[in-house]
């Protein structure tokens, strides 16, 4: 039973269906094989292992020399010990002992070259990845905002691996090169005439290899790309299986997948052809070289100008001297990949860290919990400010709700409190200190943020609530969970606080994840809490729990909340209404309602959240509010 029999492709391909668009060929860079800058910077990472690498290179050279010596010793066995009419067996024994010594060197050098090069390469891989990862931890969020996680991950994995491969290759390439030179030298030294004649086939291989390589590489690349497309298409279908079955897309998808899989099959077979094509070429050239050795070498031996051992040594060398040439041209590919990967890695490492601690930044033990924005102007794109000359103050212990339509600058305001970004103009103060004068760590300690989408790490619930708080105990965690009303559901889980969370907390509901992120903020116990309320509606039971938890969370803290729920907004001490990067009005709910400004107009539209109000209605409300004001 074959796939084709069970499910013949009989349908025509529909016009509006596609399947998993994978990377294209253009995304795989065919770059230069040597980039001085990349190599130069790469050397810095290698520098730490300089001594080891010298040992490795020595081992490579010893290995190569002993490899060349072995056929030469065999030659001497023939020409000295086994000379026609020789009877002295001690000569043979001496030769065999010399042979054994060479073998010993060869063995030890071989072991160490493999071991050291391999281990250093692994080590450098880790170092580079760590350097990049550590840098990513520090670069500004504006870079992270516009960079896909998948892309960064592929740099942290694929590109680093390509550089590792490069290092291994580079060391062995040295070996191959030495071996090639050594073999050529030995052959010429043994008999230059025979040597030159035999070596005549080398350029032929070299030329064929140069012609073959670009086509072969193209075919290998096609095979790789089509294969990753097939894998991606499979993965997508598995992840979206509910939609696939629910919408009866099985037949169409099967046909589309068949197209991809067939592409891959063809590309793979094509790549195989290019791969195996070199086998007869190399064997033909080897055969030619051996024929030359047999005829010319044989004639020389017959003529008495060359001893038979030379001929034997030549035959042994001929078997080997194509390897380094082929390896060297194959390395070219690795070099190209490594240069492109190196560029991508250093691109990340070179992203400037624009938000870093001042040399004399301070870390106060206690702060008073006030926040103030003084003439703050800020944006992400030059000349397009999101916040325009904002001024407001939050007193210690006060809860302020930020409201306003999408794009009014609420999220930016909260991000500035934690100094995720630096302001263009003006000052943001926390506890009376300019945030730029505080250390990043002290902001982390005094300002907690609860994000709209609760993010949980894999690990246990306990670990997630403690997160990075040093010295937090289990009691603290339980107390925090009780305070936010998460204790009950945690205890109902199979392992209680020790329950392992699935990826992103997949085994919990959205509401439960939110409660855990609240508990995490309580354990962190900061003076200031910045919270972005979730917009998605959850079932009303959990909703209620969350409202109560919010209340608990705010107790004794300064709160700045991007509020979406009317209940939260009304519960705030003060409401700041933002629009187009400016503050339009502020006050508590009753004051603002009495004011009959934008807030009251938006409120009376009965939307669940201000974010959802269509633009045209906001424009109406704004006009009305302004009309009233003037």
Partner 1 sequence: MLTSCGFIHGGIVTATSQVTPAGKAAGTSSRPVVGASSAGVFMRITRMALQYRWRLFFGLITIFLASGFQLAIPILIGSSVDAALGLENGDLRIANSAVVASIASVTDIVGEGSNPAKTALIIIAVLLFIASVGRGLSAMFQNYMGESIGQGIGYELRMLYYEKLQRLSFSYHAGVHTGDLITRGIVDVEGVRMFVQTALLRSVFLVVLIGTGMYLMLSEDLVLGLISLSFVPFIAWQSTAAQLKLRSNWYALQERLSALTKVMDENLGGIRVVRSFASQDHEMKKFDVASNETLALANVQVGIRASNISVMGLAFMLSMAGVLWVGGLKVIDNEISAGELTQFLAFMSILLQPIRQIGMTINGFARGSATGGRLFQVLDISPDIQDKPDAKDLEITNGTLEFHNVSFGYEEDIILNGVSFKVEPGHTVGIVGPPGSGKSTIAHLVPRFYDPKEGYITIDGQDLRDVTLDSLRKAVGVVEQDTFLFTASIEHNVAYGDPWAPDDRIETASQHAQLGDYIDRLPGGYNTLVGERGVSLSGGQRQRLSIARSIMLKPQLIIFDDSTAAIDAATEQRIRAALTELTKDRATIIISHRLSSLMHADEILFIEEGKIVERGSHEQLLTQGGHYNDLYELQIRPNEQSGNNMDEGSAS
Site for partner 1 contains 443 (CB under 8 A) = yes
Give the tokens for residue 352.
């400037």
**SS3 (DSSP) at 586:** strand
Please select the residue that binds partner 1; options are 62, 204, 234, 493, rule is CB under 8 A: 234
Total site size for partner 1, rule CB under 8 A: 190
* Residue of the chain from 34, 111, 189, 192 that contacts partner 1 (CB under 8 A): 111
The reply on whether position 241 binds partner 1 by CB under 8 A is yes
- At closest approach, how far in Å is the CB of 115 from partner 1? 4
Residue selected from 228, 372, 507, 595 as contacting partner 1 according to rule CB under 8 A: 228
Residues 547-552: contacts with CB under 8 Å, at least 24 apart: 548/485, 549/483, 549/484, 549/485, 549/486, 549/515, 549/518, 550/518, 552/483, 552/484, 552/522
CA angle (425 as vertex; 424, 429 as ends), nearest 5? 105
Pairing of strands 425-430, 371-381: antiparallel
Applying CB under 8 A, among 29, 43, 126, 629 the residue interacting with partner 1 is 126
Structure tokens at 438: 């505080």
Q: Does 107 sit near partner 1 (CB under 8 A)?
A: yes
Collapsing DSSP to helix, strand or coil, 259 comes out as: helix
Q: Is there binding between residue 55 and partner 1 (CB under 8 A)?
A: no
**Of the two residues 93 and 391, which places its CB atom closer to partner 1 in the complex?**
93
* Contact status: 123 vs partner 1 (CB under 8 A): yes
Q: Is 134 in the site for partner 1 (CB under 8 A)?
A: yes
CA-to-CA distance for 501 and 475, rounded, in angstroms? Answer: 20
Establish if 122 lies at the interface with partner 1 (CB under 8 A).
yes
With contacts defined by CB under 8 A, name the span among 365-373, 389-397, 429-437, 565-573 that binds partner 1: 565-573
Q: Enumerate residues 450-489 that contact partner 1 by CB under 8 A.
A: 451, 455, 457-458, 467-469, 485
375 contacts partner 1 (rule: CB under 8 A): no
SS3 of 380, please? Answer: strand
> Which range in 39-47, 257-265, 388-396, 618-626 contacts partner 1 by CB under 8 A?
257-265
410, 513, 589, 601: which one binds partner 1 (CB under 8 A): 589
Q: Is 138 in the site for partner 1 (CB under 8 A)?
A: yes
Closer Cβ to partner 1, 237 or 514, answer by number: 237
Asked if 30 is part of the footprint of partner 1 (rule: CB under 8 A), the reply reads: no
C-beta separation of 161 from 125 below 8 A: yes
Does 133 participate in binding partner 1 (rule CB under 8 A)? yes
Sign of CA dihedral 403, 539, 464, 555: positive
**Contact flag: residue 202 with partner 1 (CB under 8 A):** no
CB atoms within 10 A of CB 36: 9
CA distance readout (Å), 98 to 73, 74, 92, 110, 307: 8, 10, 10, 18, 20
End-to-end CA distance of the chain: 81
198 lines the binding site for partner 1 (CB under 8 A):
no
Q: What does the DSSP assignment read for 239-253?
A: HTHHHHHHTT-HHHH
Tokens of 51: 């001594």
Residue 173 as a binder of partner 1 (CB under 8 A): the answer is no
- Scan residues 532-561 and list those touching partner 1 (CB under 8 A): 535-542, 544-545, 547-548, 550-551
Is residue 422 within 8 A of residue 436, CB to CB? The reply is yes
Taking the complex as a whole, the smallest distance from the CB of residue 389 to partner 1 amounts, in Å, to 26
Choice from 516, 524, 592, 621 touching partner 1 (CB under 8 A): 524
At closest approach, how far in Å is the CB of 458 from partner 1? 6
């Amino acid at each position: 039973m074959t796939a084709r029999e069970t499910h013949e492709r009989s349908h025509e391909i529909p016009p509006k269906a596609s399947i998993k668009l994978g990377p294209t060929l253009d995304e795989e860079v065919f770059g230069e094989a040597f980039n001085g800058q990349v190599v130069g910077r790469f050397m810095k990472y290698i520098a730490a292992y300089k001594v080891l690498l010298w040992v490795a290179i020595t081992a490579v050279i010893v290995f190569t020399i002993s490899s060349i010596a072995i056929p030469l010793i065999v030659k001497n066995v023939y020409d000295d010990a086994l000379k026609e009419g020789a009877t002295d067996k001690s000569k043979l024994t001496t030769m065999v002992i010399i042979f054994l010594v060479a073998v010993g060197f060869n063995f030890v050098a071989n072991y160490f070259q493999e071991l050291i090069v391999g281990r250093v390469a692994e080590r450098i891989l880790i170092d580079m990845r760590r350097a990049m990862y550590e840098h990513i931890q520090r670069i500004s969020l504006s870079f992270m905002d516009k960079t896909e996680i998948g892309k960064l991950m592929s740099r942290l994995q694929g590109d680093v691996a390509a550089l590792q491969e490069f290092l291994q290759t580079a060391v062995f390439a040295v070996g191959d090169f030495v071996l090639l030179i050594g073999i050529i030298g030995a052959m010429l030294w043994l008999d230059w005439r025979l040597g030159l004649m035999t070596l005549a086939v080398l350029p032929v291989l070299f030329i064929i290899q140069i012609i073959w390589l670009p086509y072969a590489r193209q075919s290998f690349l096609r095979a790789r790309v089509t294969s990753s497309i097939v894998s991606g298409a499979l993965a997508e279908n598995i992840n979206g299986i509910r939609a696939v079955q629910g919408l009866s897309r099985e037949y169409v998808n099967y046909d589309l997948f068949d197209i991809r899989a067939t592409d891959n099959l063809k590309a793979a077979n094509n790549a195989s052809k290019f791969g195996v094509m070199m086998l007869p070429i190399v064997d033909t050239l080897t055969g030619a070289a051996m024929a030359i050795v047999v005829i010319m070498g044989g004639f020389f031996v017959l003529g008495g100008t060359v001893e038979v051992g030379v001929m034997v040594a030549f035959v042994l060398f001929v078997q080997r001297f194509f390897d380094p040439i082929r390896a060297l041209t194959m390395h070219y590919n690795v070099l190209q990949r490594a240069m492109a990967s190196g560029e991508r890695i250093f691109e990340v490492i070179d992203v400037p860290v624009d938000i870093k601690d001042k040399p004399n930044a301070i870390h106060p033990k206690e702060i008073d919990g006030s926040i103030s924005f003084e003439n703050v102007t800020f944006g992400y794109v030059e000349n397009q400010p999101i916040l325009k000359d904002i001024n407001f103050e939050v007193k210690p212990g006060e809860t302020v709700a930020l409201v306003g339509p999408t794009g009014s600058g609420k999220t930016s305001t909260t991000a500035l409190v934690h100094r995720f970004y630096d302001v263009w103009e003006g000052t943001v103060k926390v506890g009376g200190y300019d945030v730029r004068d505080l250390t990043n760590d002290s902001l982390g300690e005094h300002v907690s943020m609860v994000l709209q989408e609760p993010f949980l790490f894999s690990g246990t619930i306990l670990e997630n609530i403690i997160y990075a708080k040093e010295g937090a105990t289990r009691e603290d965690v339980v107390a925090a969970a009780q305070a936010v009303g998460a204790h009950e559901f945690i205890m109902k889980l199979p392992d209680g606080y020790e329950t392992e969370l699935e990826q992103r907390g997949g085994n919990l509901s959205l509401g439960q994840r939110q409660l855990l992120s609240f508990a995490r903020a309580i354990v962190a116990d900061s003076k200031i809490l910045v919270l972005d309320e979730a917009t998605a509606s959850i079932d009303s039971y959990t909703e209620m729990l969350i409202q109560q938890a919010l209340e608990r969370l705010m107790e004794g803290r300064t709160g700045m909340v991007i509020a979406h729920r009317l209940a939260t907004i009304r519960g705030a001490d003060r409401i700041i209404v933002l629009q187009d990067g400016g503050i339009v009005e502020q006050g508590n709910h009753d004051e603002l309602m009495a004011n009959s400004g934008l807030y009251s107009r938006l409120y009376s539209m009965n939307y669940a959240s201000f974010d959802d109000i269509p633009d045209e209605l906001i424009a109406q409300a704004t006009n009305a509010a302004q009309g009233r004001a003037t």
